[in-house]
Structure 1
């Protein structure tokens, strides 16, 4: 059986079956990009020489969650139970991305990485689909379609909070000024904490489109805190003062879909704090929408002292019983003076050229790794890939201030990249 533990399925700690799955996924992706790679070996069973499913699944009826996700993705849910692993299918990604140029997908993939290593980003999708390569690749393709053609999260992140003011997006501005969702620090495992103060939400304050863009902005900002060693976040829903007037199922559905379909394996804990009695029937509805993996990460806390089991006092805002001095009463509008490097297009171009060179080296090493004739050769190219991955991650640190507008997390010093 292929283990589904994230702790033991990093790119440098894979079992042989897991590494085979990753090689298969890269074969699909590289061939989509027009890179010549012989992936025949990784799609053949070692004994029989026939296509071998990695983790065949039994067909069963779609869950309520699957139907919910389908309604938000415009079609079949990514990696649904009906998608059987049937061996190598050359057009698997192309079928999903028929209206997107391969070069746009390539750019989208490398742009989305931030501090992630390329292999570990693909591994999120493989773990989410229990190492069924075809399901994982289909899920990944649908997520890339969402990023490139639908919600454009990279543009939302790079435009940042300043773009909301420049474009007069009143609903996003309202949420920013309320500081409805903030990142005050990290939990005891080093995960960034996304604190959502539910009593500040009013459905009439923003349009559905503005709410989605705001949610994506927060998620992508939280991703900036992730590193190769800490690659999940903790979401803390503070329900102090929550009433039925704050309830809005639309963003809840959108967030569930985001974390399951587009940011898989990115959630460490989901803490629901001080839920009032009126929340119980609401929770009875929501919990049926959750993927079982997400549902297993939900924790309920009743009093502030309970939070100290997961978050140290210096990282927890004062109003929740901690000693964190974060100012939740005053929001400072982003200043263009913080983004002066974004006007330096020449330096940005030089850093991007270096990035493209590193990407080309990574792809070349990946081809050799896939085509390796021995375990020793495969390991040598894997180590080369890891070295280049670290350089690509560092390159993003150099590039970041030239392409991304500074957020409140940058200017208040909470985000240290």
Structure 2
């Protein structure tokens, strides 16, 4: 069954939204050392959204110059400020382009209350410099493409634009900080690739305990096709793990949830089942960490968050937690009391039997991965062949994006946007082939519920 593509995705962009997406790609390409004539779209950013966005969408530039005529991509002053502080002499990854490739699209293929204004202020353009000043263009580019799994590259970027209300500067700052966080701090790509097996190999006892208790389990989908994460706080005790082990477990679950996403679905639903919850289970640290992740590192990834069967001791706890929430995240939270409440959002076949539904999935079952379940990780030859294909597809996507940014009229722009969508589908299929050669099998791969 095909699902309707929501607004603000690459398949459903308005003219002004498309301009903002072009601007963000132009800034990324500038940092990566990829030549693109972006003066027209960046002039729109400099002039202002209402007048300039319309002019770019109609194929006219608010300010033309000899640079546009001779093909030189002279960056605007604003764009230069964004990246001049962190461009490194050794970070050139520029690409040459043939006339043939440019003319023919690829056919096949928070500890205190924060207002919305407070959140926006965290991502002023100057912070982009801080995020990138210790990262080379090469590692930023590599991490960005590593971050792409079954996502479309444009739709991943659009999460940040939607989260920052289509402010290109703030979306760029937010994306920069996420890439910095993924590279230098949390390293979630290493966590998902190592999977549960890495916890045993590293003998991280608290991390292992979280995994074996199945405190959070992925199974089923809500009525909008979003994967559901069932969290059972009654199984949690702060003394069972270190803070780092708890964070690692949270990221494992979030990244595993991403593996279940299929276009056009781009977010997950979380069901906090407070059955059996007591004060001995209360731990504010993971709550704060999850909130910060969804607000700052995984924007637009949360569909709904259900708080189910909250006991009488919960209201004072909620009074504290709700003051940490960004209004957008707070709007996703729904309190449910019984099966009928859940059935408004989840089909009965995916509501656990112990909560009155029809799902007899064993939420306490864990399939421990072994070396024999990861035999493909040793097949370096096949992995490298798929990676070579992936590199070629990425280069095709970059060429199509350059042509799209430089498009002088709406018809040409649409032609290259369609080409980008087609190439994105190829990139998704390529990752499906690559996945077992780069990611350790999870309990969901082993029990057959995850089909990448």
Q: TM-score, structure 1 length as denominator?
A: 0.89
Among 121, 126, 129, the residue aligned to 1:80 = 121
Among 137, 147, 151, the residue aligned to 2:182 = 147
Q: Secondary structure of the equivalent of 1:194?
A: strand
* Mapping of residues 13-92 of structure 1, within 5 Å: 13-44=12-43, 45=47, 46=52, 49=63, 64-66=112-114, 79-80=120-121, 83=124
How far residue 221 of structure 1 moved from its aligned partner, in angstroms, is: 0.1
Tell me the distance in 2 between the aligned counterparts of 1:365 and 1:330: 46
The answer to whether the 8 Å contact 1:259/1:267 transfers is yes
Task: Indicate whether 1:342 and 2:341 are aligned.
Answer: no
Q: Which runs of 5+ in 2 are unaligned?
A: 56-61, 65-75, 79-109
How far residue 281 of structure 1 moved from its aligned partner, in angstroms, is: 0.8
Q: Secondary structure of the equivalent of 1:288?
A: helix
The answer to whether the 8 Å contact 1:184/1:317 transfers is no
RMSD over aligned CA atoms reads 2.2
The answer to whether the 8 Å contact 1:79/1:138 transfers is no
> 1:362-395: CA deviations, max 9, x gaps?
0111011111111111111111111110000110
Tell me the distance in 2 between the aligned counterparts of 1:305 and 1:179: 25
Tell me the distance in 2 between the aligned counterparts of 1:92 and 1:143: 12
Residue 135 of structure 2 is matched in structure 1 by: 100
Q: 1:81 to 1:104 in 2, by over 3 A?
A: closer
How far residue 305 of structure 1 moved from its aligned partner, in angstroms, is: 2.9
The answer to whether the 8 Å contact 2:228/2:268 transfers is yes
Task: Indicate whether 1:271 and 2:319 are aligned.
Answer: no
Among 324, 328, 342, the residue aligned to 1:289 = 324
How far residue 107 of structure 1 moved from its aligned partner, in angstroms, is: 1.1
Q: Secondary structure of the equivalent of 1:64?
A: coil
* Mapping of residues 109-188 of structure 1, within 5 Å: 109-188=144-223
The answer to whether the 8 Å contact 1:32/1:93 transfers is no
Task: Indicate whether 1:333 and 2:362 are aligned.
Answer: no
How far residue 163 of structure 1 moved from its aligned partner, in angstroms, is: 0.5
Tell me the distance in 2 between the aligned counterparts of 1:201 and 1:222: 20
Number of paired residues?
390
Q: Secondary structure of the equivalent of 2:368?
A: coil
Q: Which runs of 5+ in 1 are unaligned?
A: 1-5, 54-61, 70-76, 85-90
How far residue 328 of structure 1 moved from its aligned partner, in angstroms, is: 2.5
Tell me the distance in 1 between the aligned counterparts of 2:261 and 2:150: 7
Q: TM-score, structure 2 length as denominator?
A: 0.82
> 1:74-99: CA deviations, max 9, x gaps?
xxx87426837xxxxxx874542111
Among 190, 199, 210, the residue aligned to 2:234 = 199
The answer to whether the 8 Å contact 2:111/2:288 transfers is no
Q: Secondary structure of the equivalent of 2:382?
A: helix
The answer to whether the 8 Å contact 2:219/2:230 transfers is yes
Q: Secondary structure of the equivalent of 1:270?
A: strand
Residue 218 of structure 1 is matched in structure 2 by: 253
The answer to whether the 8 Å contact 1:126/1:132 transfers is yes
Q: Secondary structure of the equivalent of 1:269?
A: strand
Among 228, 245, 252, the residue aligned to 2:280 = 245
Among 312, 318, 321, the residue aligned to 2:356 = 321
